[in-house]
């Protein structure tokens, strides 16, 4: 999504409604290329710092930890990277996994969150109030 609006709530709402990326119209071309690469690699792009300071709505189903969802420590690492909007290729690289293994973990995370896409996973985790420990 390309927009002249840049406020954090507009960015958040766009992602919640299914946008795979959000690019402010004022963004430099380098940021636009980065966003395009991320989205084309099946990631989710949001401008740096665009979601900081947002108070999320009260969770529909309170859930404070990945363990409550039945996620393993490795799946929790994968979830963290999905929530950062990382594409599958980078998730595999950062965790030292094969592409297929990373894909299997992402699928398990999506099942645990009862969603079918990574965009929906981000929205679901936000709604649940999911807390990932560092």
Is the pTM for the entire model greater than 0.85? no
Q: Which residues contact 100 (CB under 8 A, 6 or more apart)?
A: none
- Map residue 134 onto helix, strand or coil: coil
- Per-residue pLDDT tens digits for 54-90: 444 444 445 567 777 888 999 999 998 988 888 899 9
pLDDT at 55: 44
CB 78 within 8 A of CB 91: yes
Which two structure tokens, joined as six digits, stand for 5?
């609006």
Inform me whether the pLDDT recorded for 28 exceeds 60. yes
What's the whole-number average pLDDT of the chain? 80
- The rounded distance, in Å, linking the Cα atoms of 98 and 2 is 33
pLDDT at 51: 54
């Amino acid at each position: 999504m390309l927009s002249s609006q840049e406020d954090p709530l507009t960015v958040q709402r766009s992602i919640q409604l299914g946008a795979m990326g959000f690019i402010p119209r004022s963004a430099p071309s380098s940021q636009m290329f980065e966003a395009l690469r991320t989205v084309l690699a099946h990631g989710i792009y949001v401008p740096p710092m665009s979601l900081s300071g947002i108070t999320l709505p009260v969770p529909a189903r309170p859930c404070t930890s990945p363990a409550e969802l039945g996620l393993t420590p490795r799946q929790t690492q994968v979830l963290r990277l999905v929530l950062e909007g990382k594409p599958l290729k980078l998730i595999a690289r950062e965790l030292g996994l094969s592409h297929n293994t990373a894909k299997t973990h992402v699928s398990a995370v999506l099942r645990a969150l009862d969603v079918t896409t990574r965009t929906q996973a981000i929205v679901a985790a936000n709604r649940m109030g999911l807390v990932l420990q560092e």
